[in-house]
Amino acid sequence: MMTSRPLRNLIAVVMTTLFIANGAGWPLLPLLERLENIVYDYRMRLTMPGGVDPRIVIVDIDDRSLQQEGHWPWGRDKLARMVDILFDHYYVGLLGFDVVFAEYDERSGLAVLERLAEGELSEFPAFRERLEALRPELDLDHRFAESLQGRDVILGFSSSKQNRYGALPPPVLKIEDELARIPFHQVAGYNGNLPELQRAAWGGGYFDNSSVDADGVFRRMPLVQRIDDGLYESLPLAMVRAIYGQPPLTLDIASTLADGQEWGLEALRVGPLRVPVDQYGVALVPYRGASGSFRYVSATDVLARKVPPETLDGVIALVGATAPGLLDFRSTPVQNRFAGVEVQANLVAGMLDQRIKKKPAYTMAADILALLLIGLFGMLLLPRLSPISAIVVTFGIGALLLSGNLYAWSGADLALPLAGQLLLLLTFFIFSSAWGFFIETRGKRRLSALFGQYVPKEVVDDMNGRGGDFGVAGESREMSVLFSDIRSFTSISEGMEPDDLKRLINAYLTPMTAIVHRYRGTVDKYIGDAVMAFWGAPLPDSDHARQAVLAALAMQQEMEAVRADFRARGWPELDIGIGVNSGRMNVGNMGSEFRMSYTVLGDAVNLGSRLEGLTKQYGAGIVVSEFTRVQAPGLAYRELDRVRVKGKELPVAIYEPVGAEKDLTARTREELEHHQTALEAYRTQDWGEASRLFGELNERGDGRKLYQLYLERIDHLRENPPGDDWDAVFTYTTK
């Protein structure tokens, strides 16, 4: 079974991979595209310059114009008159038509008259002569073409999936050589203007959009697209080129590989202008503001010459329709209902002002790098943070991403991706929080279930806070073990009723266990009246020996209160012996397949048990080994003896802890020094001096069994001299 940390890392890698794949062009997360569009739209609305651009005026075929001039399409003679008025009366600088004129205007009846002249009236030369005299007035398309001739007029046309009607303007470039590598948008057909009209106009450009986003919003538009082997320009690009005298269109192409095998289109060059596009020749529409960012004049007012001359003098005029019945409205980032002709106006103004945002190919690489860094943060750093720190750091990174993105947008005209990065960051934050709540809480419950019965709540909380993997598998550690036992408990228990005995044991074990917990020990087990505890597991503790000795001293001190309580209850007074040893031990869950216990095993554990048994021999409340004494500095000890316990060949020095060195009274210090001098005399077989010194200690009234024990040993050794090879070690043959 996979542990929690590798599983968490695997989920983090999968999440990051999905976001990176989506950013690299594989739409594995369709929601991201929608979110990216929302973020793009918000940035657009937030940073639009606003105001009205006086350079471009829209000649609007609005509802009032249709009411005054009749339904659309209007006669070409009326359109010719409007062109004449715009140039000759208002002196517009450039005129563009967001309209296509693909069909002949037969309203004058010229076609019918021509059929009559060729048929039934062919025998009447006067009819033919009169028809030819009237032809200039009756040929409305020719009349319209004449109005276009020699004037700066750009006609619009549209793309088609299959049909090919009318004529196209000349392509701006031929697709050949390296240009063939660029993936321009390619259309199969077109709906062009009448050949005569297109020849008379200064140029032409398509006004439809083959790059509408999946949600139907006009955020971008191809400025060039391919038809057969020619590259054709859009209506806005054709108008901008006309403004600069129709300079040749050049392309900024960057090789993406050192060997030049891959090519990327970055921008179009029109005279002094550099127009950013993507690799397909598509530009982001630089909306100036909501509808009304350009002046609108009604077409019927132009025909009636009611528009103030200064409104149209020298402007770029765009003829388009906003009448509801003509259905020329688009959904845009700034407004759901937006006139299509104003989209064209925004592109013209944006190119002239150099306000089109750049989205070069390297923005994808920047997005992938940012996603990778966020993924590493979410996998490596975020799990280590506290909840408050995680909130602060996550939102701090989010603020940096947002501010950096807005700076690139406004300061460098770069449209960098943002939604995926913010969403991945938020996803990691939510995932980390949920993981901490569901998975790590489960881990904490597991730790509490495993160790709550052994160690105090504070230690379990510490284990949870450290975030480590604390299991019950066996391991070897340097630890300390404590054994305590009630002296003469068998005789005490025989004289008590079972219920009273149970209450007595509970009243004794409860404060003893509380002391073990207070000093961060782990209760191993209760063996009848005995307590077994250890230090150094499950949490490592470099101070395990000192904590164990302090716990033993506190237990002996607590027994004073326990005895007073027992006297008040009429229970027997208790005395306990405590043994403490430190050393290498095996700790873990041990037992059988039927029952397991978290415990310690090893020679060091056995020695601790033997030391508890020696407390009765020396009349000491606590006996610790030399190994514990070395690892528990700052405490004063009375050396008891050097012994070989049952089952051990090597001797060990044993001590009785007295208390903290800094708290010793002068009397106690003097007694310990006196005792140590007596021990040295004993070990050098100076029986007389040793007997005198131990006798003095015994006569001081301490009543210690220890001094009586040594006086008895000295008497025995005087009668039975041990020899020169005596090592002063006492060997015990029983536990």
- Residue 559 has a CB neighbour count (10 Å cut-off) of 21
Beta-sheet pairing, 189-191 with 164-165: parallel
pLDDT digits (tens, 9 = 90+) for 83-93: 999 999 999 99
What percent of the chain stands above pLDDT 70?
Answer: 87
Instruction: Return the SS3 of 121.
Output: coil
Do residues 500 and 621 both lie within one domain? yes
Q: Which of 605, 635, 661 marks a domain boundary?
A: 661
Residue 129: band (very low, low, confident or very high) from pLDDT cuts 50, 70, 90: low
- Residue 178 has a CB neighbour count (10 Å cut-off) of 11
Q: Which of 291, 324, 353 marks a domain boundary?
A: 353
Structure tokens at 621: 């409340």
pLDDT digits (tens, 9 = 90+) for 693-730: 999 998 886 657 899 999 999 999 999 998 888 888 99
Residue 527: band (very low, low, confident or very high) from pLDDT cuts 50, 70, 90: confident
pLDDT digits (tens, 9 = 90+) for 557-595: 999 999 999 999 989 989 999 999 999 999 887 777 666
* pLDDT given at position 319: 97
pLDDT digits (tens, 9 = 90+) for 342-359: 999 999 999 999 999 998
Residue found by looking up tokens 């388009």 in the block: 320
Angle at 178 between CA 172 and CA 179, to 5 degrees: 30
Question: With contact defined as beta carbons under 8 Å apart, do 194 and 142 qualify?
Answer: no
pLDDT digits (tens, 9 = 90+) for 509-518: 999 999 998 9
Find the range with the poorest average confidence among 254-258, 310-314, 336-340.
Answer: 254-258
Do residues 492 and 595 both lie within one domain? yes
Residue 126: band (very low, low, confident or very high) from pLDDT cuts 50, 70, 90: low
pLDDT digits (tens, 9 = 90+) for 43-79: 999 999 999 999 999 999 999 999 999 999 999 999 9
What value does the mean pLDDT of the chain take? 87
What is the crossing angle of helices 362-376 and 4-23, to 10°? 170
Do residues 15 and 116 both lie within one domain? no
DSSP state of 129: H
Q: Averaged over 323-349, what is the pLDDT?
A: 92
Contacts of residue 426, Cβ cutoff 8 Å, sequence gap at least 6? 394, 398
Question: With contact defined as beta carbons under 8 Å apart, do 483 and 421 qualify?
Answer: no
* pLDDT given at position 259: 44
Residue 366: band (very low, low, confident or very high) from pLDDT cuts 50, 70, 90: confident
Residue 470: band (very low, low, confident or very high) from pLDDT cuts 50, 70, 90: very low
- At residue 673, does pLDDT exceed 90? yes
pLDDT digits (tens, 9 = 90+) for 156-171: 999 988 889 999 999 9
Do residues 15 and 162 both lie within one domain? no
Q: Please give the Cα distance from 653 to 727 (Å, whole number).
A: 12
Angle at 153 between CA 239 and CA 189, to 5 degrees: 70
pLDDT digits (tens, 9 = 90+) for 176-235: 887 888 889 999 999 999 999 999 999 999 999 989 998 999 999 999 999 999 999 999
- At residue 453, does pLDDT exceed 70? no
What is the DSSP annotation of 4-40? HHHHHHHHHHHHHHHHHHHHTT--S-HHHHHHHHHHH
Structure tokens at 355: 């306000």
Q: Please give the Cα distance from 33 to 39 (Å, whole number).
A: 10
Question: With contact defined as beta carbons under 8 Å apart, do 685 and 722 qualify?
Answer: yes
Domain annotation covers residue 731? no
Q: Averaged over 475-487, what is the pLDDT?
A: 93
Structure tokens at 657: 């802890």
- At residue 431, does pLDDT exceed 90? no
* pLDDT given at position 664: 92
Per the DSSP assignment, residues forming a β-bridge with 221 are 283
Q: Please give the Cα distance from 515 to 503 (Å, whole number).
A: 19
Phi/psi of residue 567, each to 5°? -60, -40
- How much helix, strand and coil, in percent to the nearest 5, is found in the chain? 50, 20, 30
DSSP state of 645: -
Question: With contact defined as beta carbons under 8 Å apart, do 622 and 656 qualify?
Answer: yes
**Whole-angstrom distance between the N-terminal and C-terminal Cα of the chain?**
45
Domain annotation covers residue 468? no
Do residues 320 and 264 both lie within one domain? yes
Domain annotation covers residue 459? no
Do residues 26 and 71 both lie within one domain? no
Q: Please give the Cα distance from 160 to 657 (Å, whole number).
A: 100
* pLDDT given at position 448: 55
Amino acid at 335: Q
* pLDDT given at position 5: 72
Q: Please give the Cα distance from 217 to 41 (Å, whole number).
A: 10
Do residues 186 and 166 both lie within one domain? yes
Per the DSSP assignment, residues forming a β-bridge with 553 are none
* pLDDT given at position 454: 52
* pLDDT given at position 140: 84
Domain annotation covers residue 705? yes
- At residue 113, does pLDDT exceed 70? no
What is the DSSP annotation of 31-59? HHHHHHHHHHHHHHHHH---S-EEEEEEE
Q: Please give the Cα distance from 164 to 160 (Å, whole number).
A: 7
Q: Domain of 377?
A: 4-45+362-446
Do residues 101 and 240 both lie within one domain? yes
Contacts of residue 323, Cβ cutoff 8 Å, sequence gap at least 6? 61, 62, 63, 65, 66, 72
Instruction: Return the SS3 of 237.
Output: helix
Per the DSSP assignment, residues forming a β-bridge with 156 are 205
Domain annotation covers residue 489? yes
Helix segments in 570-656, DSSP class H: 603-618, 626-631
Phi/psi of residue 564, each to 5°? -60, -40
Structure tokens at 447: 């730790």
Residue 463: band (very low, low, confident or very high) from pLDDT cuts 50, 70, 90: very low
Amino acid at 445: R
Amino acid at 173: L
Do residues 96 and 241 both lie within one domain? yes
User: Between 173 and 125, where is the model more confident?
Assistant: 173
Q: Averaged over 437-462, what is the pLDDT?
A: 54
Phi/psi of residue 57, each to 5°? -125, 135
* pLDDT given at position 109: 53
Domain annotation covers residue 734? no
Domain annotation covers residue 312? yes
Q: Please give the Cα distance from 137 to 158 (Å, whole number).
A: 29
Structure tokens at 240: 């901008």
Do residues 669 and 701 both lie within one domain? yes
Residue found by looking up tokens 């590493």 in the block: 376
Amino acid at 653: A
Domain annotation covers residue 451? no
* pLDDT given at position 468: 47
Structure tokens at 192: 């062009």
Do residues 250 and 129 both lie within one domain? yes
Amino acid at 488: S
Q: Which of 334, 353, 372 marks a domain boundary?
A: 353
> What is the enclosing helix (H) or strand (E) of 320?
strand 316-321
Do residues 341 and 399 both lie within one domain? no
Domains contained in the chain, number: 4
Question: With contact defined as beta carbons under 8 Å apart, do 270 and 182 qualify?
Answer: no
* pLDDT given at position 1: 39
